[in-house]
Structure 1
Amino acid sequence: MINQTKQYNILSFPVLVAALGYFVDIYDLLLFSIIRVPSLKNIGLTDVQITTAGEHIISVQMVGLLLGGIFWGILGDKKGRLSVLFGSILLYSLANIANGFVHTADQYAWTRFIAGIGLAGELGAGITLVSELIPKEKRGIATSVVAGAGLLGAIVAFFTKEYFVQPDGTGWRTCYFIGGGLGFALLLLRISVFESGMYQQIKQTAVQRGNFFMLFSSGERFKRYLLSIAIGLPTWYVIGVLVTFSKEFGAHMHIAGPIDAGKAVMYAYIGIAIGDILIGFISQKLKSRKKALYLFYAMAILFTILFFTIQYNGTANMMYLLCGALGFSMGFWAIFVTIGAEQFGTNLRATATTTIPNFVRGILPLIIILFEQLRTFLFNRSHNADSSYITGAWITGAIVIFLGLIAVINIRETFGKDLNFLEH
């Protein structure tokens, strides 16, 4: 047990700066999904290549997030939460500026990989810092404010694309330059943010900090870690598959009119932002993280079923509406990351909280591979491209959501938990 430290309210400066940080993080993280089609077309790729290269680039970006999550998480426990907030934003800001100068798909993939490494540190370090500064009774609301405000970065990214990207695809590079500029502006605000007092106190002790392998050295701790990761799996199935490739789903469902994947991402993140804010208050009202998760999982199952059943020969507006509804049901991202922070002691909290969401993101390539293998298997049996694509997607979703639900059932409740404890 460590001593109690000074705590702050949910609208204190560190919370607001963490929210702005996540705003910039999401802008940069989702920018590729929003401008994937025009940017890849502009560098000379065909429609088929845009799909295959798009899957490759987003997968590479997610691998960068996975590796970056480990690096920044360990650094956050060894050197402090602020070291991550400064270092990560500097790296992804530079990577986004470099992204504005690429001319090939390979160059594009490398810059997104480096950006992914940088982006990996922002959310985990921000949520860790906020969780340690805010009273335990208000922790869920504060982290929801961070996630809800931050996720609005997706909306800004979409309108940046609408304003700067021309019909011939030119102008997409400016969107990346803006992302880099926003990052450097955020660095100036970060100068005034202070380190967690809870972390400062354990620096004076001999306890091990940031030992990544401690997450696996105890069966009970490893179980906590796996369950924390599994809860978030449906989020990147929805965003990384259903929403990012909504244009392709629209074609296979024979939806009238072209689907703008960037607009689908924007609608999804409007839903996520609203859901992320609401779930904090719902969790507060129910005095339970798990009950709030059950509610949002139920909505996720309902809207996923509707996505695959009511859109055939439908309209683009229906697709956008369902992407928004799916986004709302995925609005448990803030509580999911908060649960991760609450599961682990102060000497391992940044490592766990930073790696958990990035392992979820990093698993997206495996989800995409599962989807590809299923649709190929089904196509070889039926030779129906539309049916195999849709069926492969919903089977993938059923597996992912089932795994997440099992994790929610088995993870321990952490509402109102005192975070003044250590892992040994």
Structure 2
Amino acid sequence: PAGNRNLLFAICVICYAFGGYFSTLMPVYLPVVVKELIADVSADDLNEVSAYIGSMFLLGWTFGGILFGFLGDQIGRIRAFVIAVSMYAVLNILISFLESWQMVILLRFFSGLGVGGTLVLATILVAEVWPAKSRAIALGILAVTFPIGIISTGIANNFFSDWRLAFLPGFIPLAAAFTALILIRESKEWTQLKQESLSKEEPSKYLALFESHNKKNLIQGSLIFGSMIIGLWAIFSWMPTWVQSLFPNPGQGQAERGITMMILGSGGIVGGSLSGFLINYLGHRKTLLITFAGCFVMCFIIFKTNQTFSTIIYPECAFLALFFGISQGTLSSYLPELFPTKIRATATGFCFNIGRLATAIVVFFVGALVHVMGGYGNAVLIFSITFLIGLLVTFYSPEAVAHSDSSLNKNI
């Protein structure tokens, strides 16, 4: 029914947005958090601990997307979704009470598991219940909610001087998730597939991923999404610290950090909103080619032409975020269409998150490369080369075509 579909969409929007909020909240407060938890921290220690916090979150995100994608195929999308949201919501609330940087790293890892699962399952839930003619637009809107969460971190940074208060709103997605558990039923196609699987033996879903008719799409999807997400998170994880480094006085830069993150989020919203229309007009492939090229060009401009802080950074970040937003909306509708129903959540989770294993390493090594490369800007720029890799892979990839067994081809 349309009412249940709209309620599910609203719940996914809330949980997706808070996934964006809690993903980028720690990077915004990172210099403050580390200095509070480690007395008299040196610049090298700040970089090292910050790198651990950022990379362990993304490592958790990697395994969370794969794990909860598998659980979504096994126990149902809704139940797996509720578990994932509950995990990131509760653990981020607990972070606000911690006094140890080691425990912050541990809880960020496990909250990353929850965020990774939430983003995959929210995408699958919307993709399976939304009418085909407007699905790309709905998924583009869903992707937009992630940068809304990013904007919220910028607002929180300017509103809460105490970072601990900013981690307390986790009860909101928790309440939304349990509303879904009580009021929303599993999709008809998953229920039917589960009933059919009980009557016959089927090979492991992970083995099915690598069958000849799925392998090409799996590799293609993983490379395209991975190349975008590596560059994106190298930038998002270190952008506030880079902005801070442009000020000679360590006491300066709080407002600029928050404004930069709000601009990144706002540009992402506009880009995500445009993605569905661009897909309908240009197709997935051409849209992705534009975004990869745009991301690389803007990264070069931002990190090579700014040695001290000036307001020109704001519009430059806005254009970069515009391309990021378009890419996320496009990939959210592109990847589910590559796979049949029985492995869709597992395969989409695999593609969404396999690149994050490399991303977690990248985020860590940005901190390690700061002195070697002569600053945060040069270190981050090195990893924006992944946008060129994504451009190349996309150039030689075909347009996505939905599988015939999927309700992605039917109006509901």
Letter in 2 for 1:397: S
Cα deviation digits, residues 119-145 of structure 1 (max 9, x gap): 111111111111111122221111011
Q: Is the 8 A contact 1:148 1:273 kept in 2?
A: yes
Q: Does 1:402 align with 2:388?
A: yes
| % identical equivalent positions | 21
Distance 1:20 1:364 in 2: 25
304, 316, 339: which is aligned to 1:322?
A: 316
96, 107, 116: which is aligned to 2:103?
A: 107
SS of residue in 1 equivalent to 2:172: helix
Bigger fraction of residues in helix: 2
Question: Per-residue deviation at 1:351?
Answer: 0.8
Give the match for residue 270 of structure 1: 266
152, 155, 159: which is aligned to 1:156?
A: 152
Distance 1:159 1:303 in 2: 24
Q: Is the 8 A contact 2:226 2:352 kept in 1?
A: no
Give the match for residue 69 of structure 2: 73
In structure 2, the CA distance between the partners of 1:313 and 1:164, relative to structure 1 (3 Å rule), is: closer
Q: Is the 8 A contact 1:25 1:119 kept in 2?
A: yes
Distance 2:4 2:313 in 1: 35
Q: Is the 8 A contact 1:72 1:354 kept in 2?
A: yes
Question: Per-residue deviation at 1:9?
Answer: 9.7
Letter in 2 for 1:44: I
Letter in 2 for 1:199: W
Question: Per-residue deviation at 1:25?
Answer: 1.3
Q: Is the 8 A contact 1:337 1:356 kept in 2?
A: no
Question: Per-residue deviation at 1:228?
Answer: 1.0
In structure 2, the CA distance between the partners of 1:235 and 1:318, relative to structure 1 (3 Å rule), is: farther
Distance 2:274 2:178 in 1: 30
Q: TM-score under structure 2 normalisation?
A: 0.87
Q: Is the 8 A contact 2:27 2:240 kept in 1?
A: no
351, 355, 359: which is aligned to 2:350?
A: 355
Give the match for residue 414 of structure 1: 400
Q: Is the 8 A contact 2:136 2:276 kept in 1?
A: yes
Distance 2:4 2:281 in 1: 16
Distance 1:338 1:359 in 2: 18
Gaps of 5+ in 1: 1-5, 166-170, 380-384
Question: Per-residue deviation at 1:235?
Answer: 4.0
Distance 1:416 1:221 in 2: 13
In structure 2, the CA distance between the partners of 1:38 and 1:239, relative to structure 1 (3 Å rule), is: farther
Distance 2:370 2:290 in 1: 31
Give the match for residue 297 of structure 2: 302
Letter in 1 for 2:333: T
Distance 2:262 2:366 in 1: 23
Q: How does 1:256-295 map onto structure 2 within 5 Å?
A: 258=253, 260-286=256-282, 288-295=283-290
* Aligned residue pair count: 398
Letter in 2 for 1:149: T
Q: Is the 8 A contact 1:243 1:264 kept in 2?
A: no
65, 88, 91: which is aligned to 1:92?
A: 88
SS of residue in 2 equivalent to 1:121: helix
In structure 2, the CA distance between the partners of 1:38 and 1:210, relative to structure 1 (3 Å rule), is: farther
Q: How does 1:233-252 map onto structure 2 within 5 Å?
A: 233-250=226-243
Distance 2:245 2:171 in 1: 38
Give the match for residue 221 of structure 2: 228
Q: Is the 8 A contact 1:154 1:269 kept in 2?
A: yes
Q: Is the 8 A contact 1:140 1:338 kept in 2?
A: yes
Question: Per-residue deviation at 1:272?
Answer: 1.2
In structure 2, the CA distance between the partners of 1:27 and 1:392, relative to structure 1 (3 Å rule), is: closer
Letter in 2 for 1:412: P
Q: Is the 8 A contact 2:226 2:354 kept in 1?
A: no
Give the match for residue 189 of structure 2: 198
In structure 2, the CA distance between the partners of 1:419 and 1:264, relative to structure 1 (3 Å rule), is: farther
Distance 1:290 1:10 in 2: 32
Q: Is the 8 A contact 1:279 1:335 kept in 2?
A: yes
Q: How does 1:338-353 map onto structure 2 within 5 Å?
A: 338-353=333-348
Distance 2:196 2:242 in 1: 55
In structure 2, the CA distance between the partners of 1:367 and 1:145, relative to structure 1 (3 Å rule), is: same
Question: Per-residue deviation at 1:418?
Answer: 4.6
Distance 1:346 1:364 in 2: 28
Give the match for residue 26 of structure 1: 20
Give the match for residue 130 of structure 2: 134
SS of residue in 2 equivalent to 1:204: helix
Question: Per-residue deviation at 1:14?
Answer: 2.1
Gaps of 5+ in 2: none
Q: Is the 8 A contact 2:31 2:241 kept in 1?
A: no
Give the match for residue 382 of structure 1: none
Give the match for residue 44 of structure 1: 38
Letter in 2 for 1:322: E
